Amino acid sequence: MNCKLKDRLIIIVFALVLLSVGFAGGQYYLHRIYQRQIEVSYRRALSEFATHLQELTIELGRSRLAQSDPLRDSIGADLRRLVYAAQSNMGELPLGEIQTERIAGLLAQAYKYSFLFNPEQAERLYQQAGRVSRGLQNILVQKEKEFPWVSWREYLGARLTFGDLLQTLATINNDLDEFKIPLRKGEIEGEIISPQEAVSQAQAFSGKQELDFKVTKESRGSPPTYTVEAQGEEQHLIVEVSQKGGVVLWMATVQTIEEQRLTSRELIQFGNSFLLEKGFPPMHVTDLQLLQNKATLTFVPVRDGILRYAEPVKVQISAADGAILGFWGVPYYLAQSRSGQPLERTAEQEWELEDKIKRGVEVLDQKLALILNGKQEEILTARLGVQYGEEYYLIYLNFESGAEEDLVPVASPEFF
């Protein structure tokens, strides 16, 4: 064999080895990317599925007490929406992780029930949905403790900092994104602040002066805002500050909370203390939602003896140590420019309470409340804190006509 032929063979063999190594390396790299995508998709679907089942359970609970056709129609529409969403999530979940056949049957029954409102089936569906919801929450907690391809913190951080999504993020957690700002929303008053002042406001409000905050975006929306972010070792903090007046509209912390050690009463105390420290007037707590060891509390102001539900403030708190994780006060701040407007009552209450509630429902508390109807208009209601069996609800009756406007489950009479 001559030297030229030998050199060519060596080159060919060397090239084949390089191609083989490159192909194997490329396949491994693509495989890792694919695994990352699958993990992200799976975690998103599981988280959304848990949220939809939790909301479905709440709606089924409400349906057991609803008496009027308009409210039943509204609840039925919500049930069908949640069933569709949950069924979509199921299509993205891996077989074997969850008993999908049983859950599919439960969702099918809930869909049929949304049209018929069979009283005999209501309690059974409510109990079954509650068990599935609690099971999903337990799965989420377990997944937090595993070492994943893509951690929850990394994934959620990427989602929260994704460009245009910041402009629509008006929630602390998944439970807050359906609240709608009233049509008479008002405006935020004050002088225009600089980006440097926005950073100072974010540091002071969050109490995280040790973190390096930076303005990452300026929005010209309504109202115009600065988005201020900071990254710590175990948390990612995002604060939205109004350019006019320099008030913190919302704050969100991406952080894993491993356990719950605080009671609801202690969490409410932490929330009240935080709001008083930030200069808010005394507020009335109306709700507490606990998800992944993070408690979201809803507070509303009280003026002239009336609860103002169109002006809520929400605070998210770590159920482990009481640390403040999130805040949302957009409707409250927007309403301040019209807060001095007197409430006009067109008529007095002319209906009997006993005629408006289901037999067996015990009224424990009654207050006046301004709430938003389906057209986002404020209406005056009689807010009843009631007990039905071992559960508690808030029933809102139109002050003038006595018609049911809304019905909301609460954890205890603490929220009456």
Q: pLDDT at position 36, please?
A: 54
Q: Among residues 338, 372, 406, which one ends one of the domains?
A: 338
- 182: which residues sit within 8 A by CB, 6+ positions away? 310, 331, 335, 372, 376, 377, 378
Percent of the chain exceeding pLDDT 90 equals 26
Provide the number of structural domains found in the chain.
3
Instruction: Evaluate whether residue 263 is within a structural domain.
Output: yes
Lowest mean pLDDT among 211-220, 243-252, 339-348: 339-348
* Interval 261-281: pLDDT, tens: 999 999 999 999 999 999 998
- Residue 362: burial class (beta carbons within 10 Å; 0-12, 13-18, 19+): exposed
State whether 237 and 293 are in the same domain.
yes
Instruction: Evaluate whether residue 42 is within a structural domain.
Output: yes
Structure-block tokens of residue 230: 């900071």
Q: pLDDT at position 173, please?
A: 27
State whether 51 and 146 are in the same domain.
yes
The per-residue pLDDT of the chain, averaged, comes to: 77
Please choose, from the candidates 180, 158, 161, the residue with its C-alpha nearest in 3D space to the C-alpha of residue 170: 180
State whether 138 and 205 are in the same domain.
no
State whether 210 and 241 are in the same domain.
yes
Q: Among residues 309, 338, 367, which one ends one of the domains?
A: 338
The letter for the amino acid at 288 is L
C-alpha span between 196 and 238 (Å, rounded) = 15
C-alpha span between 182 and 179 (Å, rounded) = 9
Instruction: Evaluate whether residue 158 is within a structural domain.
Output: no
The model scores a pTM over 0.75: no
Q: pLDDT at position 22, please?
A: 58
Asked if pLDDT for residue 347 goes beyond 80, the answer is: no
State whether 43 and 178 are in the same domain.
no
The letter for the amino acid at 57 is T
- Residue 191: burial class (beta carbons within 10 Å; 0-12, 13-18, 19+): exposed
Q: Are 274 and 324 in contact (CB under 8 A)?
A: yes
Question: What radius of gyration do the chain's Cα atoms show?
Answer: 26
Q: pLDDT at position 171, please?
A: 31
Where in the sequence is the domain holding 374, given as residue range(s)? 353-415
State whether 298 and 254 are in the same domain.
yes
Q: Are 368 and 305 in contact (CB under 8 A)?
A: yes
State whether 287 and 198 are in the same domain.
yes
Percent of the chain exceeding pLDDT 70 equals 71
Around Cβ 10, how many Cβ atoms within 10 Å? 10
* Interval 45-71: pLDDT, tens: 777 888 888 889 999 999 999 888 889
Backbone φ, ψ for residue 90 (5° rounding): -60, -35
C-alpha span between 290 and 285 (Å, rounded) = 15
* Interval 359-415: pLDDT, tens: 899 999 999 999 987 666 889 999 999 999 999 999 999 998 898 998 988 888 988
Three-state SS string over the chain comes to CCHHHHHHHHHHHHHHHHHHHHHHHHHHHHHHHHHHHHHHHHHHHHHHHHHHHHHHHHHHHHHCCCCCHHHHHHHHHHHHHHHHHHHHHHCCCCECCECHHHHHHHHHHHHHHHHHCCHHHHHHHHHHHHHHHHHHHHHHHHHHCCCCCCCHHHHHHHHHCCCCHHHHCCCCCCCCCCCCCCCCCCCCCCCECCHHHHHHHHHHHHCCCCCCCEEEEEECCCCCEEEEEEECCCCEEEEEEECECCCEEEEEEECCCCCCCCCHHHHHHHHHHHHHHCCCCCEEEEEEEEECCEEEEEEEEEECCEEECCCCEEEEEECCCCCEEEEECHHHHHHHHHCCCCCCCCCCCCCCHHHCCCCCCEEEEEEEEEEECCCCCEEEEEEEEEEECCEEEEEEEECCCCCEEEEEEECCHHHC
State whether 41 and 92 are in the same domain.
yes
Q: pLDDT at position 17, please?
A: 58
